[in-house]
Amino acid sequence: MSVAHPPRATGDFDTTNSSAVRRYNRTYGLIPPTVDSQEVQMKRCLMQLSRKEKSIEKYLYLSGLRNSNVHLFYRLVTQHVKAIAPLIYTPTVGEACIQWSSNYVQPEGLYISYEDRGHIGSVLHNWPEKNVEITVVTDGSRILGLGDLGINGMGIPVGKLALYTACAGIRPDATLPLMLDLGTGNQHFINDPLYMGTKKPRVSEEESLEFMDELMQALHQKWPGIVVQFEDFKNPFPALEKYGPRYTCFNDDIQGTGAVVLGGIISAVKQSGRPAKDQRAVFLGAGSAGVGVAKQIVAYFMREGLTEEEAKRCFWLVDSKGLVTNDRGDKLPDHKVYFSRDDNNAEQYKTLEEVADLVKPTILMGLSTIGGAFTPKLLTKMGQWNEKPIIFPLSNPSANSECTFEDAIKCTDGRALFASGSPFGPIEYQGQTLTPGQGNNMYVFPGIGLGAILSKATIVTQSMIYASALALSKSLTKSEEAQDWLYPEIARIRDVSVKVAMEVIKAAEEAGVAREPHIKMMGDDELEKWVRSKMYEPATETARVEDEVRDLLMDLPKSNGSSGTNGVNGQKDSHL
């Protein structure tokens, strides 16, 4: 039997490889003789990581590790997710994106340019993996709160998909980080000789959508049923509206964020002691995330007994021009119209402070990209107006957060129900250690994607997104609830993703969009077992490859008389 491709899944230079695998991969002698366990390897990595001072250095080290030894990387991330997620994802990924072109050393995803239109399918064919199940795609036009970073935004698909693998067990080779190079509005990059994207202004909205049409068709032609996650588009509404009913896709910034914030708000509303009907929410930021979150909470308030109109009236959205009202004088984009107020008596409120003084909100939500916008003065007022003010500064990365955890706690005498988009450390307050929640869509998108893949959903319905939020809100342990946490411990995120995926699968089945027949009759226990059995587990990969090599070696013809040392295609090895 001839073997075309030796298994390389553990990385050719993985020191956990046994002598047999090293011989098979022809790396025998190139790796120091000891066969390490993965535990020893992880210890070495953690030591090397701890020697790096800056987060960006740690990010680059970890990228190198992912490219040289993928299973070790994922075992490390899975076991140390709380410490490592901030290094491979938000907030460090923000800095990594800013420096993407200058730090570039190796391909980590697929780049498709506007110039490639008409041939997108053939660019997809260059992707080396055959069985892609999910892609995260961006055009880099609004990367976190950092603005238009063009192709440097590739760090976002790479980081999100790394979490898909670490937190939801999607096989690394089933993921495709995808960057659409449609020009950039970032003049600094256009002038930078090291910038690796097209140095032209962005194409028009219409041209972009036409390009997306071809992309969506080509993706589904090459990988039918592929799940597409849209990420960090400046104006993501037209694509979601157009492709949402046709393809298995969702927008993480609108829907994933809506779900994750709802998951936390359900607990916060309960803890605040105020029913939904008495909540008043002021949002700073009325973009994709702001409107996505507000709409998701409206759906929840309606389930709590409010009419749609009553629920909608609980929200005051503030953008860069002030309170969003019907008579403000500018033409409101469609997504803002739903929440536009008509009860302002022709008065326009220009600043967040004015709106807050008018409304005396119970909930203050930040999705504005404006770091420090929740001033100590405003936070203090939130503490005066409410026994338990709900304060969610959700903009990323850390410098863009509308306030810090420390400010929120100090200004409200420790009473704030707090969650931020980027992680903050715990603080000591009046002899107590207080731990902040992290309201980041990382709690839901891995489970939404896993659920969509496993159920073979034809589309991602609103009910699947809502189910992810409910699953998240129910995933807190007794001890987490006793400490008034709004989100579960990050270290448990893989278990949380399983719960989210299960509810997404059930919702897909209920909505009639699931094509996977197995899930129909399954009870919860069986479903959980089935979901877990489908998840990639880095700790067992090395053993799997060992077994595979052993089997292949046993199958090889023993024409040369040497036992189990044949090279590829059964050729005789001269020495080993």
Ligand X SMILES: O=C(O)C[C@H](O)C(=O)O
Ligand Y SMILES: NC(=O)c1ccc[n+]([C@@H]2O[C@H](COP(=O)([O-])OP(=O)(O)OC[C@H]3O[C@@H](n4cnc5c(N)ncnc54)[C@H](O)[C@@H]3O)[C@@H](O)[C@H]2O)c1
Binding-site ranges for ligand Y (CB under 6 A): 142, 144-145, 253, 257, 260, 284-290, 318-320, 367-370, 394-396, 400, 421, 439-441
Number of residues that bind ligand X (CB under 6 A): 9
Q: Which residues are annotated as a binding site?
A: 142, 231-232, 253, 396, 440
HEC-encoded secondary structure of 324-374: CECCCCCCCCHHHHCCCECCCCCCCCCCHHHHHHHHCCCEEEECCCCCCCC
CA distance 270 to 290: 22
90 touching ligand X, by CB under 6 A: yes
Tokens of 189: 């990059």
**Considering the complex, what minimum distance in angstroms separates the CB of residue 369 from Mg ion?**
12
Q: Which does 167 bind (CB under 5 to 8 A by kind): ligand Y, ligand X, Mg ion, none?
A: none
Nearest CA to 52 out of 106, 6, 92 is that of 92
Q: Which residues are annotated as a binding site for (S)-malate?
A: 142, 396, 440
CA distance 127 to 110: 7
Q: Which of residues 406-425 bind ligand X (CB under 6 A)?
A: 421
Q: Which is nearer to ligand Y, 92 or 440 (CB)?
A: 440
* 141 close to 233: Cβ distance less than 8 angstroms: yes
Q: Which is nearer to Mg ion, 11 or 393 (CB)?
A: 393
- Residue number with the smallest Cβ distance to ligand Y: 287
**Considering the complex, what minimum distance in angstroms separates the CB of residue 432 from ligand X?**
28
Q: Which is nearer to Mg ion, 11 or 150 (CB)?
A: 150
Burial grade of 415 (CB within 10 A; 0-12, 13-18, 19 or more): middle
**Rounded to whole angstroms, what are the CA distances from 97 to 59, 452, 546?**
11, 28, 37
Q: Which does 14 bind (CB under 5 to 8 A by kind): Mg ion, ligand X, ligand Y, none?
A: none
325-330: Cβ within 8 A, 24+ apart: none
Q: Which is nearer to ligand Y, 85 or 454 (CB)?
A: 85
Q: Which does 453 bind (CB under 5 to 8 A by kind): Mg ion, ligand Y, ligand X, none?
A: none
Write the interaction track for ligand X spanning residues 430-449; mark x where CB under 6 A is met and - where it is not: ----------xx--------
> Distance between terminal CA atoms of the chain?
20
Tokens of 382: 């939130």
414: left (phi over 0), alpha (psi -120 to 50) or beta: left
Binding test (CB under 6 A) with ligand X, winner from 21, 136, 144, 465: 144
* 159 close to 149: Cβ distance less than 8 angstroms: no
**Considering the complex, what minimum distance in angstroms separates the CB of residue 262 from ligand Y?**
12
Query: At 503, which amino acid appears?
Result: E
Q: Which does 15 bind (CB under 5 to 8 A by kind): ligand X, Mg ion, ligand Y, none?
A: none
Q: Which is nearer to ligand Y, 284 or 493 (CB)?
A: 284
3-class DSSP state of 451:
helix
Q: Which does 439 bind (CB under 5 to 8 A by kind): ligand Y, Mg ion, ligand X, none?
A: ligand Y
* 417 close to 389: Cβ distance less than 8 angstroms: yes
DSSP-H helix ranges across 437-523? 445-455, 462-473, 478-482, 493-511
Q: Which is nearer to ligand X, 60 or 259 (CB)?
A: 259
Q: Which does 319 bind (CB under 5 to 8 A by kind): ligand Y, ligand X, Mg ion, none?
A: ligand Y
**Considering the complex, what minimum distance in angstroms separates the CB of residue 285 from ligand Y?**
4
Q: Which is nearer to ligand X, 261 or 281 (CB)?
A: 261
**Considering the complex, what minimum distance in angstroms separates the CB of residue 189 from ligand Y?**
18
Q: Which does 108 bind (CB under 5 to 8 A by kind): ligand Y, Mg ion, ligand X, none?
A: none
402 touching ligand X, by CB under 6 A: no
CA distance 256 to 247: 17
Q: Please, which residues have CB within 8 angstroms of residue 387's CB and are 6 or more apart in sequence?
A: 272, 273, 415
Nearest CA to 13 out of 78, 5, 108, 32 is that of 32
Binding test (CB under 5 A) with Mg ion, winner from 253, 319, 402, 503: 253
What stretch of H or E contains 393? strand 390-393
Q: Which is nearer to ligand Y, 138 or 198 (CB)?
A: 138
Q: Please, which residues have CB within 8 angstroms of residue 174's CB and are 6 or more apart in sequence?
A: 129, 131, 132, 133, 134
Number of residues that bind Mg ion (CB under 5 A): 3
Given 58, 160, 388, 499, the catalytic residue: 160
**Considering the complex, what minimum distance in angstroms separates the CB of residue 142 from ligand Y?**
5
Given 24, 28, 74, 89, the catalytic residue: 89
Q: Is 89 a catalytic residue?
A: yes
Binding test (CB under 6 A) with ligand X, winner from 116, 133, 252, 319: 252
232 touching ligand X, by CB under 6 A: yes
The piece of 7-15, 229-237, 415-423, 489-497 that touches Mg ion (CB under 5 A) is 229-237
**Considering the complex, what minimum distance in angstroms separates the CB of residue 292 from ligand X?**
11
139 touching Mg ion, by CB under 5 A: no
**Considering the complex, what minimum distance in angstroms separates the CB of residue 275 from Mg ion?**
32
Provide the strand spans (E) within 114-167: 134-138
The number of CA neighbours under 13 Å toward the Cβ of 427 is: 15
148 touching Mg ion, by CB under 5 A: no
Q: Which is nearer to ligand Y, 420 or 542 (CB)?
A: 420
CA distance 405 to 499: 28
Estimate to the nearest angstrom the gap between the alpha carbon of 447 and the chain centroid. 10
**Considering the complex, what minimum distance in angstroms separates the CB of residue 491 from ligand X?**
18
Binding test (CB under 5 A) with Mg ion, winner from 14, 148, 181, 232: 232
- The contact set with ligand X (CB under 6 A) reads 90, 144, 232, 252-253, 396, 421, 440-441
**Residues identified as active-site:** 89, 160
